[in-house]
């Protein structure tokens, strides 16, 4: 019994060293060697060889080419094994469930989608996971499931769009695949993808996702801030319009930010509409939509001035489907923020992210990668 604490400590140290070694291989982009990892970590050559032997046996690392000679025996390079293990990424929306198989380096290998039988159908999410698993002969290392709602461990505390409350989604999906399943809020996932792809990694920013709903993620020193109850960034259901004529929100309140500035609201589409099935740019160019977009941008800018001042962030990154609204929408945001400068606060800058459109599955996949192995694609 007296040996158990010591064994636990040794196991924790080895686990930490395995994570460090895997991150160095991943970040090395095919140039890392056993000797370079030993130098970077201060570990002995024998320890490094043991760690890498385990990672190779587990299908996470593979040996590559011989490194250039530095005067002695040419070392063998190491790379992340992209053949034996893969990641699954699933995006759940009211009108569409999408999924993709990604390599351990984040390269998309296969994708599928399914129109749900009803918004919030867990069976449809399970079906997409099984379809993805059937397309690959590699071992599935982890699954990331991205949802519009409050993700807290295995639970979805609340998703107004999907009609979920205190749903143990991981338990509901158990058996769909033999791999750990990790849940992540959609805005958090998009923020993770944007931050890891940005040269300004580590900067503080507010990520705002506009699609069928509105969500936000707070990034401090490159990390997503969860908040005391995993609700940081849940600004979509904060009332911004008041009175009996304020629009009724699906949550039951009136005048929520989501009912004013979600892309579906700006375009005049019904709640939960499938934005993948419409030409957002064309709809945004219609005169009535342009009026809603200008009005919604003013409301959003004023709300973000308050949030930005409270968090002391200099940059607001817009994700989701918002980039399809074009330069006019972000121009309204910039103009409104400039008209109302906040004294003693940094002026807000605004930009679109492309990750949500160009690489929509990357955020949930990286969340699953980090949650399972403790490593990240960010360099």
User: What structural domains does the chain harbor?
Assistant: 4-80 (1.10.10.10), 85-190+360-373 (3.30.420.40), 199-357 (3.30.420.40)
Q: What is the pTM of this model?
A: 0.86
* Cα separation of the two ends of the chain: 42
Instruction: Please name every residue paired with 125 in a beta bridge, in sequence order, or none if there are none.
Output: none
User: Among 188-192, 229-233, 335-339, 340-344, where is mean pLDDT lowest?
Assistant: 229-233
| pLDDT tens digit sequence for 328-341 | 999 999 999 999 98
Total length of the chain: 379
Residue 1 confidence class, pLDDT cut points 50, 70, 90: very low
Tell me what the mean pLDDT of segment 168-179 comes to.
Answer: 96
Q: What integer best gives the mean pLDDT of the chain?
A: 90
In angstroms, the CA 362 to CA 218 distance is 18
| pLDDT tens digit sequence for 63-86 | 987 766 555 566 899 999 999 999
Percent pLDDT > 90 in the chain is: 69
Burial class of residue 363 (count of CB atoms within 10 Å of its CB; 0-12, 13-18, 19+): buried
Minimal CA–CA distance to 144: which of 355, 363, 376, 377?
A: 363
CA 106-109-110 angle, to 5 degrees, is 125
pLDDT of residue 61: 95
Residue 328 CB partners (closer than 8 Å, separation 6+): 284, 290, 293
Residue 273 confidence class, pLDDT cut points 50, 70, 90: confident
Q: How far is CA 378 from the centre of its chain?
A: 13
């Amino acid at each position: 019994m007296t040996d158990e604490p010591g064994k636990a400590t040794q196991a924790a140290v080895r686990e930490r060293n395995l994570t460090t070694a895997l991150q160095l291989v991943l970040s090395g982009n095919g140039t890392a060697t056993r000797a370079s990892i030993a130098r970077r970590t201060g570990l002995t050559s024998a320890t490094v060889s043991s760690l890498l032997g385990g990672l190779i046996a587990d299908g996470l690392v593979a040996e590559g080419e011989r490194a250039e000679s530095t005067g002695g025996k040419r070392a063998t390079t190491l790379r992340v094994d992209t053949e034996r293990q893969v990641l699954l990424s699933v995006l759940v929306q009211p009108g569409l469930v999408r999924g993709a198989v990604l390599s351990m380096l984040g390269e998309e290998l296969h994708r599928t989608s399914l129109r749900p039988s009803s918004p919030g159908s867990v069976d449809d999410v399970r079906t997409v996971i099984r379809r993805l698993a059937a397309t690959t002969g590699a071992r599935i290392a982890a699954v990331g499931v991205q949802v519009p709602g409050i993700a807290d461990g295995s639970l979805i505390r609340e998703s107004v769009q999907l009609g979920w409350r205190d749903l143990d989604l991981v338990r509901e999906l158990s058996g769909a695949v033999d791999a750990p399943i990790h849940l992540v809020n959609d805005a958090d996932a998009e923020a993770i993808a944007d931050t890891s792809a940005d040269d300004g990694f580590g900067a503080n920013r507010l990520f705002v996702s506009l699609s069928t709903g509105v969500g936000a993620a707070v990034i401090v020193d490159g990390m997503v801030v969860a908040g005391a109850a995993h609700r940081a960034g849940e600004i979509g259901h904060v009332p911004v319009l008041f009175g009996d004529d304020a629009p009724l929100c699906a949550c039951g309140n009136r005048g929520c930010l989501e009912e004013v500035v979600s892309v579906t609201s700006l375009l005049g589409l019904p709640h939960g509409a499938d934005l993948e099935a419409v030409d957002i740019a064309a709809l945004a160019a219609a005169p009535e939509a342009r009026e809603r977009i200008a009005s919604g941008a003013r409301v959003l800018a004023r709300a973000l001035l308050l949030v930005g001042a409270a968090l002391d962030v200099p940059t607001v990154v817009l994700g989701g489907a918002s980039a399809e609204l074009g330069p006019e929408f972000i121009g309204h945001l910039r103009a409104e923020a400039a008209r109302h400068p906040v004294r003693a606060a940094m002026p807000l800058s605004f930009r679109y992210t492309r990750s949500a459109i160009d690489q929509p599955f990357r955020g949930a996949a990286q969340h699953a990668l980090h949650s399972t192995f403790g490593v990240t694609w960010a360099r």
